[in-house]
Structure 1
């Protein structure tokens, strides 16, 4: 069954699952960055890219959407790069344990790092003013 043949309720369910998985991916990447750099920053060779959850969500999802991926395909990708085994592993030694943090597989970390690396290269090549002008033009379409 293709996504076009789905009922409105099924499309809403896929959209909700997609959104939840994307939030977990963004949170997991933020936790990864903070564990390495003590702040949510991607270290690019030309300078730091400061990130927050909405910026990661918007950047990753628009990147995949612009490449022609459907909501269901994007959801499948986000689920694929989340490390559910690490998230479900029992942690020992805590007095109180109220849950695990979302975690990415190495493949997911490498993919997101590559996306931000390409973004930094593009901004460096175009220059900040030209990149912002291009983003504003894209936003009006």
Structure 2
């Protein structure tokens, strides 16, 4: 076989020790909060704080910048059921204000806060998977 046509592993999938990791699904690893390279290490240090690097394979997470993406996705899509529930409760039952505090507020909090971490993980894993980076005006050589 011609040495030029031998498939070389993606350099991003090889760690500092030379171990090659199989390509992981960004949806699975991100939603579970795992490293996008090895799929085993933790991506988050806190609820939404991204670690500096993977504790398992050493992947540097400095490339990760989901910015406001998770909040935008939550506002546009994930909180929609909570808002519809709250509006329907008001329209159909016309409850007193305290019912909204006891029922609607927790529903809205759950529908907006819980999806943030999986969505942020998915965006970070997708940045790794698709080699996303800042735009450049000149072509890399």
TM-score by length of 1: 0.29
Task: Give TM-score scaled by structure 2 length.
Answer: 0.29
Computing the radius of gyration from Cα coordinates, the structure with the larger value is: 2
